[in-house]
């Protein structure tokens, strides 16, 4: 009898362990992550810090600059080629790295970070890297994808000072203009000197900025653009290069350093002065960029990225610059998008100059301005007067432009888009899905964030609409590159490359989102259940009319009212999707335990603030009534049922787990009875046994209260909703959901310390009560929350 009992005990123990291993992970596992993006994505193994993109539009080959490596990827099959891409290793010798570390730099910084990739006129690629704080440049032969070699067999290199930054994290920009490289970078090891220079080409024509804080004052370079004038322009204007950066303003007499965004311009034909400004720019002019919300009085003073787009191909006058701004004074994340036309910048550059009088440290308008006008490019009219090049300009003109590089007027624009709580890192502009007459100003902004998201925003005139927010990478991977190629957006992070559609009506998954893209040429087709380009015979309708035609549940201003059963003391976050840049407001019972997070509302539940909550947004402007975007009803419930309400898709798993637990209890009871009979018949003592349910086999699962307070931290929801419901959180003060249900882990730990006789008596009582109450068995603590899914709008 004893042997049989021991055999049954071992069999039951194995069965119990199998049940725990099978059911518990499925019940309490973390929710699976949502697919990041609809497209091809690949992560490069053993490669880090991908920072530079260069696209060969003819072949579709994308060249990537990374740490100690240059990659070549076929964009026609990214996922396959990224697994085994063509790779050039260009690292730093160990002795040079050691010398760099000896100068006080870290081992990671003393590597070769590729910061420049540009095509030369003969088809080769000019590449520059930091090379352990000693910038070096080389050339890549595209045919065999290799670095050109020197006579000694090593890499053929030339100095990269002035062409590439010394430090990997330093701000930098460069652009190739007719085979000549123009750069804006630091020019010394300490990073205290800055230059905007013509870095390649004829040695006699390599010029740079004058070393003066009036020219460049601790700048952070952002972007550059080469603007070609029309060959048949009547004035004979020269081509120009524009540089965008943020610098410390010297025109403000304040105790603190004030940063301002700037645009600077130089002429491609500038070769410096004869005596004054030798080897220096004679056409360097700069102006302040103002991105300001005049109604709210908010000015955005730090420029982070600029994208240049020519809205009418072949017409330089249609060029616009889209910039991402943030504020120097705001503590929370804040991003704004402003757009500037090339014509507005030209007007400011042709306007009055700003001057600082040395005696009173005040800026005034200078008088008089010498002739010919300082800072202008050599035109046909100047050539007719005998000024064939900048070398022929008088010293008084060069002295004036040396002392007065800043313009009096600013280039002013109002923000197209303002987002609080979001930090945009990169911007690109895609044309609308279908071009229409009268919609030449329409465009789609692709905005990358520091949390690995890609936002699509439609722009029609001065009206902007947030269409989609797509998670592309993990929150730890910021978007640092966006490149458009053949209707695709190549989005990069320091380790990953993703290929997703850049435009097209098919991107918009619902009737409501498609209706908001109505002015971009998209229309919802109910029969196909898809968003498609508008046909010529389609009846012309406005966006508001298209929204009204959508299903009532998706209607913009008639959302379904959602009931949330909550417990007193919990904190909940009620989502409200904000589709425009205009503000949103809430109607709710008056109570002080509320706080608005941008468009969402945080509520600490009490008996006084339950009731109806509604969110209203000014989607159509101030001339239209606010639109109701969300509606909720908060009702108090018995706290004991809150964990049951949290279950979503795993009820069948929990039921199977409860059934196995019940069967295990019965078998355990029978086992204990057999063991007690065997011991009484053999006269053995009733000592405690520790091998019945050892601690290593005890299911250690968190309680539902800990899941609520720790598994879902209170963070701002910035897009969509959580399964269409409000997100429920525990009180930060330590208040837990009081539930009279059994904690399985604690229960089993307690039973482990009891004797078999005591356990048998407890099991008899539990089985008797369980047989009576089994139809009403409650869900054990530790049941998982509903999976959180972010929905795009």
What pLDDT band is residue 244 in, cutting at 50, 70 and 90? Answer: very high
* Range of lowest pLDDT (376-380, 636-640, 653-657): 653-657
pLDDT at 447: 95
The answer on pLDDT for 586 being more than 50 is yes
Same domain, 684 and 769: yes
Same domain assignment for residues 592 and 520: no
Residue of higher predicted confidence among 749 and 550: 550
Secondary structure of 207-272 as H, E, C letters? CECCCCCCCCCCCEEEEEEEECCCCCCCCCCCCEEEEEEEEECCCCCCCCCCEEEEEEEEECCCCC
Q: pLDDT, tens digit, for every residue of 117-151? A: 999 989 999 999 999 999 999 999 999 999 999 98
State the SS3 of 333-354: CEEEEEEEEHHHHHHHHCCCEC
Predicted local confidence at residue 356, as pLDDT: 66
> Per the domain annotation, does 518 fall within a domain?
yes
Do 629 and 662 lie in one domain? The reply is no
6 assigned to some structural domain: yes
- Residue 12's pLDDT band, with cuts at 50, 70 and 90, is low
DSSP string, 513-572: HHHHTGGGTEEEETTTTEEEEPPTTSPP--HHHHHHTS-TTT-TT-PPPEEEEE-TT-EE
Q: What percent of the chain has pLDDT over 90?
A: 39
User: For residues 776 and 160, which has the higher predicted lDDT (pLDDT)?
Assistant: 160
Asked if residue 628 and residue 682 are part of one domain, the reply reads no
- Are 6 and 115 contained in the same domain? no
Is residue 293 in a domain?
Answer: no
Q: What was the pLDDT predicted at 610? A: 87
Closest of 635, 575, 586, 579 to residue 609, by C-alpha: 635
Of 338, 352, 291, 344, which Cα lies nearest the Cα of 317?
A: 344
Q: Name the residue among 429, 412, 425, 408 with its Cα closest to residue 318.
A: 429
Residue 440 lies in a domain: no
Q: Give the mean pLDDT of 575-594.
A: 78
The edge-to-edge listing of strands for the beta sheet with 594-597 is 594-597, 600-604, 571-574, 727-729
Residue where one domain finishes, among candidates 153, 170, 187: 170
Q: Which residues on adjacent β-strands are paired with residue 4?
A: none
- The confidence score (pLDDT) of residue 708 equals 28
Domain that holds residue 582: 562-637
Helix (H, G, I), strand (E, B) or coil at 596: strand
What is residue 729's DSSP assignment? E
Instruction: Report the distance separating Cα 285 and Cα 215, nearest Å.
Output: 9
Q: Please identify, among 518, 548, 578, the residue that sits at the C-terminal boundary of a domain.
A: 548
Instruction: Write down the pLDDT at residue 600.
Output: 84
- Tell me the range of 283-292, 379-388, 430-439 where mean pLDDT is highest: 283-292
> Is residue 412 very low, low, confident or very high in pLDDT (cuts 50, 70, 90)?
very high
> At residue 439, does pLDDT exceed 70?
no
Position 792 scores a pLDDT of: 31
Residue 312, exposed/middle/buried by CB under 10 A (0-12, 13-18, 19+)? exposed
Q: Do 69 and 135 sit in the same domain of this protein?
A: yes
Q: 575 with 626, same domain? A: yes
**pLDDT over 50 (residue 458):** yes
Q: What is the pLDDT of residue 568?
A: 84
Output 49 or 668, whichever has higher pLDDT.
Answer: 49
pLDDT, residue 544, reads 57
Q: Residue 491 in 3-state DSSP?
A: strand
Q: Which strand (E) or helix (H) includes residue 669?
A: helix 651-682
Kindly indicate the confidence band of residue 545, based on its pLDDT and cuts at 50, 70 and 90: low
Highest mean pLDDT: which of 251-255, 514-518, 529-533, 629-633? 629-633
- Region 360-374 average pLDDT: 71
Instruction: Please say if the pLDDT value at position 194 is more than 90.
Output: yes
pLDDT at 364: 58
Q: Which of 548, 572, 607 is the last residue of a domain?
A: 548
Q: Is the pLDDT of residue 157 over 70?
A: yes
The residues near 42 (Cβ < 8 Å, ≥ 6 apart) are 78, 79, 82, 83, 496, 497
Residue 71 confidence (pLDDT): 93
The pTM of this model reads 0.68
Q: Residue 80 is part of a domain; what is its CATH number? A: 2.130.10.10
Report which listed range, 10-19, 604-613, 679-688, is most confident. 604-613
Q: Tell me if 699 is assigned to some domain.
A: yes
Residue 131 belongs to a domain: yes
Whether 94 and 133 share a structural domain: yes
Q: What is the pLDDT of residues 87-103, one digit of tens each?
A: 999 999 999 999 999 99
CATH code for the domain of 617: 2.60.40.10
Same domain, 117 and 166: yes
Domains contained in the chain, number: 4
| Average pLDDT estimate for 170-177 | 94
Residue pair 479/453 in contact (Cβ under 8 Å)? The answer is yes
- pLDDT winner (highest mean) among 158-172, 455-469, 650-664, 775-789: 158-172
Q: Is residue 186 part of a domain?
A: no
Grouping H, G, I as helix, E, B as strand and the rest as coil, residue 644 is helix
| 15 and 87 assigned to the same domain | no
The pair of structure tokens assigned to 456 is 């699509």
Pairwise CA distance, residues 166 & 194, whole Å = 11
Q: To the nearest whole number, what is the mean pLDDT of the chain? A: 76
**674 backbone dihedrals φ, ψ, rounded to 5°:** -60, -40
Mean pLDDT confidence for 235-240: 90
697 and 755, same domain (yes or no): yes
Do 691 and 748 fall into the same domain?
yes
End-to-end CA distance of the chain: 68
Check whether 668 has a pLDDT greater than 80. no
Q: Which of the pair, 216 or 476, is modelled with greater confidence?
A: 216
597 pLDDT higher than 90: no
In tens, the pLDDT along 327-361 reads: 988 888 899 999 999 999 999 999 999 876 554 55
Residue 543 lies in a domain: yes
């Amino acid at each position: 009898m004893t042997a049989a009992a021991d055999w049954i005990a071992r069999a039951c123990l194995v069965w119990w362990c199998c049940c725990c291993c099978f059911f518990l992970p499925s019940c309490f596992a973390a929710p699976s992550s949502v697919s990041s993006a609809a497209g091809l994505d690949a992560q490069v193994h053993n490669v880090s810090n991908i920072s530079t993109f260069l696209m060969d539009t003819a072949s579709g080959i994308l060249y990537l600059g990374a740490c100690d490596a240059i990659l070549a990827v076929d964009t026609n099959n990214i996922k396959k080629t990224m697994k085994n891409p063509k790779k050039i290793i260009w690292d730093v010798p160990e002795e040079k790295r050691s010398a760099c570390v000896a100068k006080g730099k870290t081992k990671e910084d003393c590597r070769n970070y590729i910061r420049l990739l540009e095509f030369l006129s003969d088809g080769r690629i000019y590449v520059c890297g930091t090379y352990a704080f000693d910038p070096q440049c080389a050339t890549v032969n595209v045919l065999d994808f290799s670095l050109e070699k020197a006579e000694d067999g090593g890499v053929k290199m030339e100095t990269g000072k002035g062409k590439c930054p010394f430090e990997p994290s330093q701000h930098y920009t460069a652009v190739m203009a007719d085979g000549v490289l123009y750069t804006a970078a630091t020019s010394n090891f300490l990073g205290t000197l800055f230059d905007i220079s013509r870095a390649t080409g004829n040695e006699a024509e390599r010029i740079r900025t004058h070393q003066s804080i009036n020219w460049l004052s601790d700048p952070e370079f952002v972007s550059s653009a080469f603007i070609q004038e029309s060959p048949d322009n009547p004035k004979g204007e020269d081509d120009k290069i524009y540089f965008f950066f943020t610098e410390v303003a010297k025109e403000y007499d304040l105790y603190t350093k004030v940063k301002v965004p700037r645009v600077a311009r130089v002429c491609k034909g500038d070769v410096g002065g004869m005596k004054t400004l030798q080897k220096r720019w004679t056409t360097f002019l700069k102006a302040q960029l103002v991105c300001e919300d005049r109604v709210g009085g908010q000015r955005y003073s730090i420029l982070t990225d600029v994208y240049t787009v020519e809205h009418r191909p072949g017409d330089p006058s249609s060029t616009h610059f889209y910039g991402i701004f943030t504020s120097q004074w705001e503590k929370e994340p804040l991003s704004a998008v402003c757009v500037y036309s090339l014509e507005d910048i030209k007007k400011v550059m042709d306007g009055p100059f700003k001057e600082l009088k040395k005696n009173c440290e005040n800026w005034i308008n200078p008088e008089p301005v010498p002739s010919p006008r300082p800072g202008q490019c050599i035109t046909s009219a100047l050539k007719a007067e005998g000024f064939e090049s900048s070398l022929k300009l008088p010293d008084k003109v060069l002295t004036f432009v040396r002392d007065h590089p800043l313009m009096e007027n600013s280039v002013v624009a109002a923000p197209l888009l303002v987002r609080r709580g979001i930090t945009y890192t990169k911007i690109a502009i895609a044309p609308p899905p279908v071009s229409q007459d009268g919609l030449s100003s329409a465009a789609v902004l692709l905005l990358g964030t520091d949390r690995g998201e890609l936002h699509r925003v439609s722009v029609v005139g001065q009206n902007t609409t947030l269409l989609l927010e797509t998670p592309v990478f993990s929150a730890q991977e910021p978007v640092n590159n966006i490149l458009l190629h053949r209707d695709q957006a190549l989005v990069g992070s320091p380790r990953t490359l993703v290929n997703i559609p850049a435009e097209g009506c098919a991107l918009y998954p619902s009737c409501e989102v498609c209706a908001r893209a109505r002015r971009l040429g998209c229309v919802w087709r109910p029969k196909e259940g898809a968003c498609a380009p508008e046909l010529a015979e389609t009846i012309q309708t406005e966006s508001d009319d298209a929204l009204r035609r959508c299903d009532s549940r998706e209607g913009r201003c008639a959302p379904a009212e959602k009931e949330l059963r909550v417990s007193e003391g919990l904190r909940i976050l009620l989502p409200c999707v904000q589709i425009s840049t205009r503000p949103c407001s809430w109607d709710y019972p008056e109570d002080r335990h509320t706080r608005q997070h941008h468009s969402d509302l945080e509520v600490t539940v009490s008996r006084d603030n339950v009731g109806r909550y509604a969110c209203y947004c000014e989607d159509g402007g101030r001339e239209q009534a606010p639109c109701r975007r969300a509606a909720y009803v908060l009702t108090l419930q018995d706290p004991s049922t809150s964990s049951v309400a949290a279950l979503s898709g795993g009820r069948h798993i929990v039921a199977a787990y409860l059934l196995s637990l019940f069967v295990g209890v019965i078998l355990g009871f029978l086992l204990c009875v057999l063991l007690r009979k065997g011991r009484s018949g053999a006269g053995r003592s009733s000592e405690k046994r520790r091998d019945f349910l050892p601690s290593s086999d005890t299911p250690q699962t968190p309680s539902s209260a800990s899941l609520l307070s720790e598994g879902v931290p209170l963070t701002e929801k910035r897009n969509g909703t959580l399964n269409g419901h409000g997100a429920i959180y525990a009180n930060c003060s330590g208040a837990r959901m009081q539930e009279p249900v059994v904690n399985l882990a604690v229960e089993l730990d307690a039973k482990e310390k009891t004797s078999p006789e005591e356990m048998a008596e407890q099991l008899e009582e539990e089985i008797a009560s369980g047989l009576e109450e089994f139809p009403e068995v409650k869900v054990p603590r530790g049941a998982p929350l509903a999976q959180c899914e972010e929905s795009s709008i």
